[in-house]
Every structure is written in C-alpha cells, then in structure tokens.
Chains A and B, each alone.
Chain A
Amino acid sequence: MKNEKRHMGLKATNRLSNTAIYILLVVISVVWLLPFVFILLQSFRVESTWQVGYVIPQQWGFDNYIRLWNSDFKRWYLNTLIIALFSAVLVTVIQLCMSYTLSRFRFKMRGPLMRFMLILGMFPGMLTMIILYRVLADLGLTQANAVPGLILVGVASSGMGYYVSKGFFDTIPKSLDEAARVDGATRFQVLYKIILPLAKPIVIYTILTAFMGPWGDFVFARYVAMGTSAGYNVAVGMYSWLTNDQINSWYTTFCAGGVMVALPVTILFLCLQKYYVEGVTGGAVKG
C-alpha cells in the first residue's frame, strides 16, 4: 500500500516536472516568436503607417507590400539577391577546394599557410574596411557599382573559412581516395565523385553561411554604397527609412520589407535544416 502510493507519487512528480518544463518551453517560444508575429501583423496593417500601441491590425491589406514593390526596395532586393547568390556559389567552390587541398594534399607550406590564415583571421574584419574601401574606390567598384564590389570582397577572403569543412573532410577515410586513385580517378574526380557526396551536409552548410553573410550585411555595404541608392542592399536601403522625418510614414512598409527579407532565408532553412545541424556538428568530430 505504502509502496504503491510512493510509486504513484513518482509518476505524479514526473508529470509535474514535465508540465513545468513544457510551460517554460511554451513561455520561451512565445517570447522568441512574438517579435516575428508582431512584424508580420504590422506589415498587414493599413489603417495607419506609424507605430501604434496595439498588435492586431484594425484593417488588413497588402498596401504595404504594394508600396514596397513600387519603391526602390525592388532594386535593393535584387542587389542583395545577386550579391548573396554569387557569393554563395563562388565562396562554396573556393572554400571546398581549399578544404580539400588542405585535408588531402601534403606540401611544404601547408602548415605555415594554415597558421598564417589562422593568425590573419584573428584580426577583426572591421579593421580592413578603410583600405578595402580605397581599393574598391580605385577600381571604380563603389557607389552605383557596389554590387560587384561587394561580391569581390565577400569572395576574396573566403578561402580562409576552411576550418569546418576541412575538419569534416578529415573524417572521411583516406583509403576511399586511394581506392579511387588506384582505379584511375584524378584528384578532381576524387573530390567531385567521392568526397562531396559524402560531405553533403557540409556543402549545404557552406552554401547557407555563404548566402547568409551578404544577405544581412549592413556596415560594409553601407560604406561601399555611400549614399547611392542604386548600390544599396536591402539592409542599407531600409535603414534610410528610419530617419525621424521618414519613420512615421514608412514604419509599416518597413515591417513588410522585414518580412520579405526573412522569407527566402526562412524557406531555405526549413528545407535544409536537417543538413545544417549535421554540418555544424559534423566538422567538430575531428579537427
């Protein structure tokens, strides 16, 4: 009798702690999700364009999205998309080649090169902004030509981000390479036909991060575009709506812009989530 009671007590305790945990999780996810829901709702509010004290719109409509479409936003969005797509492709190619090289080849400067890049990577990127700007300005890749300029800057240093994928490549047995080589595969074929299919998560991870970087870039993009609307990316362009004489007529449109910016990234993440997690942790198995 006594025992049974205790047993019940244990069950009840379990249920209690589970309830507590779930309540906590619900609270956390509400706190986390609320801002996004808020932005989404604001973007459909059409009765006024400034900030208001309530969340649910009184009148719903697509006015803000239509206004967005008719503003410079279209161009900014396209600029960002071009930069992000080019970066995603080029950075991925360069980074994977780099990782493959450092993982599989043994050459004299391999160690020093890796150490050199490690040290270079320790300098905050911000430090290089001024000189990079000058270089770009002299090449004529600023202001209206900011898009190729930003692609160039984004891609140029990409080789240095080899760590994670090299770590992953190191975990793929070398004997696979050797077998392929014996069968007459070239080095490139080994990478393309053997390594990459095995390293799918890391490839996707690389593409994603390469896409995300320029997608959310603000500081350098603003610096390079320097007051020329044609060269803005979305972040810089939308920032220009935030001045104190503009914000009240653009606030809801700004929210709509935020939704548009979040959309492709969200979709991408939802589709590739599985690989993303594998990719992040995959490289950590062996450094």
Chain B
Amino acid sequence: MKVRKFTALLLVLVMVLALCACGSGTEQSSEPSTQPTQQGSSSGTEQSGGDNEQSGGDSEQQGDTGSELAGTYDITVWVPEAAVELTKTQIGNFNSSNEYGITINATVEPVSEADAANNMITDVAAGGDIFFFAQDQLSRMIQAGAVGKLGQGAAQTVSANNDAGTVMAATAGGDIYAYPLTSDNGYFMYYDKSVITDESHLGSMEALIADCEAAGKLFSFQLDDNAWYLASFFFGAGCHNEWTYAEDGTTIEKIDDDFNSPNGIIACKGLKKLLSSPAYNNSSDVSAFANGSAIVVSGTWGYKDALDILGDNLGAAELPSFEVDGQSYHLGSYSGCKLLGVKPQEDAKTGAALNQLALYLTGKDCQMERFQETTWGPSNLEAQADPSVSTPALVAYAAQSAYAVPQPVIPGGWWEFAQVIAIDVKNAADETGYQAALDKYQQSLDALMG
C-alpha cells in the first residue's frame, strides 16, 4: 500500500516535472522568437526601420553617417556548400570596397538553404546573422523572429532592382522581409537528345512518352511523393491554389483553391496518362539519366550534373502539353527563388551594417559572380538582362515561367495531403476514382482551414 502510494506520488511528480520541462522548453524556444519580433515589429520596427532608412539615406549623404557605421563586426554567415568559398571572397571584397568603413569578420558555414529555417528555429540567438534560405520558409522565419521587416530605403532598393516575382516572394502582409538572391527555383524538362531526336515532339507529353517507350527509356517526373511537381498538372489544367495570410504573415485568412473541380478531373486524366505508362519513373534527380531515363523533370540545380552525365546530348526545354478530350493543356509549374535573410540585431548599428552587406551580396555584381560560379539564375534585373547570363537550363526556366505560378507560402500540411492525389489517381480506374481522390483532397483542405 505504502509502496503503491509512493509510486503514484512519484509518477505524479515526474509527470509534473515533465510538463514543467516541456513548458519551459517551449518558453525557452519562443523566448528568442519573441525577443527579435519585438525588436522587429513593435519597438524595434521604428528602431530598425530607422537605421535602415538611415543607411538608405547614406547613399545620399555618405560622409558622417558613413563613419557612424565604421567598425568591425563579427558575424556568422550561412550559405549552401556550393557558395561558401565565393561568399568568403565577396565579403572580403565588400570590406575593401564599401564606403562606410565597415569591416565584416565573417565565419561562413555551409548550411543548405533547405535547412536554414529548421536550424534558425532551433535557436535564433545562436543562428547565422546572414543566411540563405528557400522562399517557402519565409513565414516560419518571420514567426521565429529570424528575419525582420526591411527599412524603407532597403525595401525600395530591393523592389526596384529585382524581378517582381522574387520581390513578392520576399513579401508578407505588405512588408518586405528578405533580400532576393536568385530567381531560378522552379522546374522544367531536361532531355537526352539521342533519344528525343525529333524536336517537334518536345511540345507534347504523349509524343515524349511514346518516344521513351519506343526506346525503352524512362520519363522521370517525381509525382508519386512530391506535391511540388504534382501541382504541375493541376496548374496546367487551369486550377488555382492561392493562400491569403493575415497581417502577421502566418494565420491563414483564405484559401482560393479549385483542384477539386472539372479542371481537376482534366488534370487527373493527364496525370494518369503518364503514371500508367511503363516509361514513368518517380524521380527528380538528374542522376536518373545514368539509370535509363531519357527525360528528367528537375530544376537549375541539376544542370551541371546533367551536363556531366549527358554532355552534348543534354537538352533543356519548357514542360510539354498534355491532351485531354482533344484539347491541349500546357503543364504548369512553380517558380520560386532563394532569399537572403538578416537576423534582427540587438544593436542597431550592427543591423545597419549588415543591411549594407546584404544589399551588396544581393546586388548585381555578386549575383553575376554567383551565376558564373554556381549557375544560379539571378533575381537582379540588370544581371538577368546581361547576355552572358544564359545556360540552356535558365533559358528553359525562363520559357517555362510563362506557365509558372509564383510559389506562395504554403503550410507544410498541404504538401503532405496533396501528394496523395498521385497515388490515388494511379490506383483509380476511371473518373469516379479521380473524383474520389479529389474529394479526399478537399476534405483535408477544409480540415486545414478548421
């Protein structure tokens, strides 16, 4: 009896302790997030907005404000592996060329732009001061307080110099939060010229499938488990998927989505054509070329590797059209970009100096250098117009962008339940099956809205 009582007491104690641990854990993890947001939004908006304007105004009256920024700053910079050396050089160039007397002492760490949000959210205080990230992480970054609103001066520079799509991607609730870095994050089609010999087939998915089947080659398109690629068919059929957020940038106000519609059925029919072909292969990795694929739907990041594998036989083109009931639909896609984020700084002066560095790193020259080094497509308008900035991949990306939808901020849950459509369509026999798949999708979507 005594023992039992004691055990019960102990259990209660442990549970309470565990709860406390959880409590303080979340408190802790939200602490750094509220801290910078405060800085970024309430008291800090004016503060950081203030310096940014100040530094924006610097270009006009460089003299005394310039000397105010002079000093040495120790920061951490997170960039993807491929850009580490280049970024070190670029920061060195910034140190020697900037007119404010800013010296940046940077530790450059390789952190993939896909992981930036996960890492930042872990501990904003210990995270990188400047980091590259993929645009779909913006809302999480804002929520965690890992980025703050740009001041007016910086915001103007950013929106004037970069293409509209990337500026939109860096914007939430009407304010710009990050600096566009590239504009090439979408997908199109790489193909093997030795298999797809007739260029007129490039426009038709059916002809391409037939070519692949005839040559015993594969058509790689990662539809089975990736809604990012799957959405291609739905956008092609004219469906929409738009998200409106409240002022805070994270609460969903409205979802404008018609995947579950007659157009959605058309998309499913097109999807089924590819999924049921023996040539279909679920991959978006260009190494699929080394494994029997003649077509791989992928993005600019795969260009160098694809070129290594196929050499002169590599071709790149916009996505083809599929045909349903005698009508042709051009496959859509997402277009997106990489952004550079600056962590809100406790010290206003550091914030202003980092703002200058961020503008430099996302400026024309640095984007050009990055293109030459890594073939990342620039977001800067002048750099885009430069004739040297052109690879077959970027040309194909640009051609596809006429059919592309700028990727909005989409909650993680959507990707999970939207990707299921592909499997459902694969298993469905006819239109009723497609409708069932779309109904299931609609249910999950409604549930997301609550």
B290 to chain A, nearest CB (A): 5
Q: Is there contact, CB below 8 Å, between B22 and A227?
A: no
Task: Give the number of residues in B that approach A within 8 Å (Cβ atoms).
Answer: 43
Select the stretch in B112-120, B154-162, B172-180 that faces chain A. B112-120
Query: What does the 1/0 interface line of B106-134 toward A look like (CB < 8 Å)?
Result: 00011110110001001101111000000
Q: Assuming A50-B309, A243-B81, is B119 touching A134 (CB within 8 A)?
A: no
Partner of B25, one of A134, A240, A244: A134
A111 to chain B, nearest CB (A): 8
Asked if B35 is at the interface (CB within 8 A of a chain A CB), the reply is: no
Asked if B7 is at the interface (CB within 8 A of a chain A CB), the reply is: yes
Asked if A119 is at the interface (CB within 8 A of a chain B CB), the reply is: yes
- Which residues on the A side are within 8 Å of B291 (C-beta)? 51-53
> In B253-298, which residues have CB < 8 Å from any A CB?
284-287, 290-292
Query: What does the 1/0 interface line of B6-31 toward A look like (CB < 8 Å)?
Result: 11001100100010011011101100
Query: What does the 1/0 interface line of A160-193 toward B look like (CB < 8 Å)?
Result: 0000000000000000000000000000000000
- Which residues on the A side are within 8 Å of B26 (C-beta)? 130
- Which residues on the A side are within 8 Å of B112 (C-beta)? 240, 243, 246
Partner of A48, one of B80, B119, B292, B309: B309
> In B385-406, which residues have CB < 8 Å from any A CB?
none
Asked if B305 is at the interface (CB within 8 A of a chain A CB), the reply is: yes
Q: How far is the CA of A212 from the CA of B125 in the complex (A)?
A: 32
Q: Is there contact, CB below 8 Å, between B28 and A244?
A: no
- Which residues on the A side are within 8 Å of B203 (C-beta)? none
Asked if B302 is at the interface (CB within 8 A of a chain A CB), the reply is: yes
Q: Is there contact, CB below 8 Å, between A119 and B10?
A: yes
Partner of A248, one of B25, B127, B286: B286
Query: Closest B-chain residue to A130, C-beta based?
Result: B25
- Which residues on the B side are within 8 Å of A119 (C-beta)? 7, 10-11, 14
Asked if B423 is at the interface (CB within 8 A of a chain A CB), the reply is: no
Q: Is there contact, CB below 8 Å, between A123 and B309?
A: no
Query: Closest B-chain residue to A122, C-beta based?
Result: B14
B220 to chain A, nearest CB (A): 12
Query: What does the 1/0 interface line of A108-127 toward B look like (CB < 8 Å)?
Result: 00011001100110010001
Query: What does the 1/0 interface line of A221-234 toward B look like (CB < 8 Å)?
Result: 00100111100000
Q: Assuming A228-B109, A244-B285, is B126 touching A142 (CB within 8 A)?
A: yes
Q: Is there contact, CB below 8 Å, between B285 and A229?
A: no
Asked if A4 is at the interface (CB within 8 A of a chain B CB), the reply is: no
Asked if B235 is at the interface (CB within 8 A of a chain A CB), the reply is: no
B292 to chain A, nearest CB (A): 6
Q: Is there contact, CB below 8 Å, between A227 and B28?
A: no
Q: Is there contact, CB below 8 Å, between B6 and A48?
A: no
B25 to chain A, nearest CB (A): 4
B255 to chain A, nearest CB (A): 28
Q: How far is the CA of A255 from the CA of B326 in the complex (A)?
A: 49
Q: How far is the CA of A268 from the CA of B148 in the complex (A)?
A: 51
Q: Assuming A130-B26, A240-B110, is B7 touching A115 (CB within 8 A)?
A: yes
Q: Is there contact, CB below 8 Å, between A244 and B302?
A: yes
Q: Assuming A131-B24, A227-B78, is B287 touching A51 (CB within 8 A)?
A: yes
Query: What does the 1/0 interface line of A246-264 toward B look like (CB < 8 Å)?
Result: 1111010000000000000
Q: How far is the CA of A191 from the CA of B125 in the complex (A)?
A: 47
Q: How far is the CA of A51 from the CA of B293 in the complex (A)?
A: 13
Q: How far is the CA of A116 from the CA of B14 in the complex (A)?
A: 9
Q: How far is the CA of A246 from the CA of B80 in the complex (A)?
A: 9
Q: How far is the CA of A165 from the CA of B309 in the complex (A)?
A: 55
Q: How far is the CA of A244 from the CA of B125 in the complex (A)?
A: 28
> In A208-228, which residues have CB < 8 Å from any B CB?
223, 226-228
Q: Is there contact, CB below 8 Å, between B285 and A227?
A: no
Q: Assuming A130-B25, A227-B111, A244-B302, is B6 touching A112 (CB within 8 A)?
A: yes
Q: How far is the CA of A208 from the CA of B115 in the complex (A)?
A: 33
Asked if A128 is at the interface (CB within 8 A of a chain B CB), the reply is: yes
Asked if A73 is at the interface (CB within 8 A of a chain B CB), the reply is: no
A255 to chain B, nearest CB (A): 13
Q: How far is the CA of A249 from the CA of B309 in the complex (A)?
A: 11
Asked if B301 is at the interface (CB within 8 A of a chain A CB), the reply is: yes
B291 to chain A, nearest CB (A): 4
A142 to chain B, nearest CB (A): 6
Q: How far is the CA of A152 from the CA of B6 in the complex (A)?
A: 31
Asked if A275 is at the interface (CB within 8 A of a chain B CB), the reply is: no
Asked if B308 is at the interface (CB within 8 A of a chain A CB), the reply is: yes
Partner of A229, one of B6, B109, B127: B109
Asked if A137 is at the interface (CB within 8 A of a chain B CB), the reply is: yes
Q: Is there contact, CB below 8 Å, between A131 and B25?
A: yes
Q: How far is the CA of A133 from the CA of B119 in the complex (A)?
A: 13
- Which residues on the B side are within 8 Å of A131 (C-beta)? 21, 24-25, 28
- Which residues on the A side are within 8 Å of B80 (C-beta)? 243, 245
- Which residues on the B side are within 8 Å of A247 (C-beta)? 285, 287
Q: Is there contact, CB below 8 Å, between A240 and B29?
A: no
Q: Is there contact, CB below 8 Å, between A248 and B305?
A: yes
Q: How far is the CA of A50 from the CA of B306 in the complex (A)?
A: 10
- Which residues on the B side are within 8 Å of A79 (C-beta)? none
Instruction: Give the interface centre of A52, A115, A120, A131 by most chain B CB atoms within 10 Å.
Output: A131
Q: How far is the CA of A254 from the CA of B445 in the complex (A)?
A: 39
Q: Is there contact, CB below 8 Å, between B115 and A227?
A: yes
Asked if A42 is at the interface (CB within 8 A of a chain B CB), the reply is: no
- Which residues on the A side are within 8 Å of B285 (C-beta)? 51, 244, 247-248
Partner of A123, one of B18, B109, B290: B18
- Which residues on the B side are within 8 Å of A244 (C-beta)? 114, 284-285, 301-302
> In A36-78, which residues have CB < 8 Å from any B CB?
48, 50-53
Report B's interface with A, CB cutoff 8 A. 3, 6-7, 10-11, 14, 18, 21-22, 24-26, 28-29, 78, 80-82, 109-112, 114-115, 119, 122-123, 125-128, 284-287, 290-292, 301-302, 305, 308-309
Give the 4 A-B residue pairs with the shortest CB-CB distance, closest first.
Answer: A130-B25, A248-B305, A50-B287, A245-B301
Report A's interface with B, CB cutoff 8 A. 48, 50-53, 111-112, 115-116, 119-120, 123, 127-128, 130-131, 133-134, 137, 142-143, 223, 226-229, 240-241, 243-249, 251
Given contacts A50-B309, A248-B285, A251-B287, 17 further A-B contacts (CB under 8 A): A48-B290, A50-B308, A51-B287, A52-B291, A115-B10, A127-B21, A130-B22, A130-B25, A130-B26, A133-B123, A137-B125, A142-B123, A142-B126, A228-B109, A240-B110, A240-B111, A248-B308
